[in-house]
Amino acid sequence: MLTYIIPFLILILVVVFIHEYGHYYFARKYGVGVTDFSIGFGKELFGWNDKSGTRWKICAIPLGGYVKFFGDRNVYSQSDHKEILEKYNEEEREKLFILKPLYQRVLIVFGGPLANFLLALVIFFSIYTFVGKDFTPAVINEVQKDSPAMMGGLKNQDIILEIDENEVKSIMEVSKFITMSTGDFIDFKVKRSYDELILKIKPNIVEGEDGLGNKINKRMVGIKLGAYNNEVNHVKLGPAQALYHAANEVYYVSTASLKYIGGMILGKVDTSQLGGPIRIAKISGQVATFGVLAFISMMAYISISLGLINLFPIPMLDGGHLMFYAFEKVLGRPLSQKTQEGFFRIGMILLLSLMFFTTFNDLKDLGLFS
């Protein structure tokens, strides 16, 4: 269990700290008082106070975190303005989150997801700069008999240029693009001799295992790949190129994740692969055995997921509060306390349902349910 727990704790501590620090940074920038910066929930295990009076602490349940503002329950509380004005003097009001201008509140709330995207960007940038990125063109060495690839017209020696309009810059990207596809058909753009062709391939969905031995439903087209002219092209990138490709990776993962979630809502994709903390702990432990590079790469993908999920317009998440601020901008006033409380109840039900579903998938993955 320690091989799972320790990498999981490291991953969660870093990703959650970065997220909460995004809130903290903009809060301090705009003069909001911060009384607590917590990683985890529940009983405090240890902590310390800084010169500004903020209590930095690690708590017993490491499944999230929060920043608590002066005079406020936390970044999400919706206190009554009149009550606040009566309770605090003029100097103290300057430190209250809820009395800050709308644009400042938006930046404070958006700062968490923004920090997660920036963490992923920095990780990918560092990998491409100091380790390098693969640019080996993908050539089809074998098309399996009676496979979807053969039925769709793919042939040996085809060079794969695009998959679902995503440019294939490396042989390593082919599997990723196939796995992340959500449609009934996958569009392959290939170069054959001097011609470029677009072929529609309907993948088979088969039970299999990922590279870590976890059972998954795989989208298979029936091809084996090789390097173009048997030459591997792995290069370290300069700062500008590294930044471009890092930003492109963050963008791709974000859009592909949104497509998957959209397909899940419409019932068009397999929801059994959706997991929660147990599966993340399991996979983080497995990935850690492949070394630091694989582990920090996974950290980048988890950070993107955390940032993206927090932007969903669901009350109790950052995106839910940004939605409230959008209403405030349009209406010229905040939504009533009663209306916000109603939205929060809906958000709570949605989040609890999601937690139940992902936990069920996690337990099923562990073999506790058939």
pLDDT at 79 (0 to 100): 45
Question: And the tokens for 314?
Answer: 């669901």
Q: Which member of 20, 83, 94, 173 is catalytic?
A: 20
**Range ranked top by mean pLDDT from 163-177, 218-232, 344-358:** 163-177
pLDDT tens track for 203-258? 988 876 655 555 667 788 999 988 777 777 888 999 999 999 999 999 988 988 88
Helix (H) or strand (E) holding 84: helix 81-87
Sign (positive/negative) of CA torsion 222, 228, 231, 234?
A: negative
**CATH class assigned to 133-235:** mainly beta
pLDDT tens track for 108-130? 999 999 999 999 999 999 999 99
Phi/psi region, residue 192 (left: phi>0; alpha: psi -120 to 50; beta: rest), is beta
* Whether the Cβ atoms of residue 113 and residue 19 lie closer than 8 Å to each other: yes
20 is catalytic: yes
- Could you state, in order of their start, the residue ranges of all structural domains in the chain? 2-130+303-365, 133-235
Strand partners, 65: 39
Which pTM was predicted? 0.83
Distance from C-alpha of 264 to C-alpha of 220, rounded to nearest angstrom:
20
Residue 278 has pLDDT above 60, yes or no: no
Please tell me the number of Cα atoms within 13 Å of 287 on its side-chain side. 22
Residues 6+ apart with CB under 8 A from 116: 15, 18, 19, 22, 303, 304, 306, 307, 310
